[in-house]
Structure 1
Amino acid sequence: MRVLVVEDEPRMAELIVGIIDRAGFVADTVPGVADADHALEFLPYDAAVLDLGLADGDGLTLLARLRARRSGLPVLVLTARDTLDDRVAGLDAGADDYLIKPFAGAELVARLKALLRRPGHSLGVMLEAGTLTFDTIGREARAGGTALPLARQELAILEHLLRRFGRVVPKALLEEKLYGDGGELESNAIPVHVHHLRKKLFDAGAGCTIHTVRGVGYFLTDGITE
Structure 2
Amino acid sequence: MSSILLTTKGNNGEELPKKLQLYSFSTSPPSFSVRIALNFKGLDYEYKAVNLFKGEQHRPEFIKINPIGFIPALMDGDMVIADSFAIILYLEEKYPQHPLLPRDLANKAINYQAANFVCSSIQPLIRLPILKYIGENVGHEEKVPWVHKHVGKGFAGLEKLLKYHAGKYATGDEIFLADVLLAPYIIGYLQRYNFDMSEYPLLSRLAEAYIQVPSIQDAMPEKQPDFPIN
Common fold, TM-score beyond 0.5? no
Higher RCO structure, 1 or 2 (CA under 8 Å, sep 6+)? 2
Higher normalized helix content (fraction of residues): 2
Higher normalized strand content (fraction of residues): 1
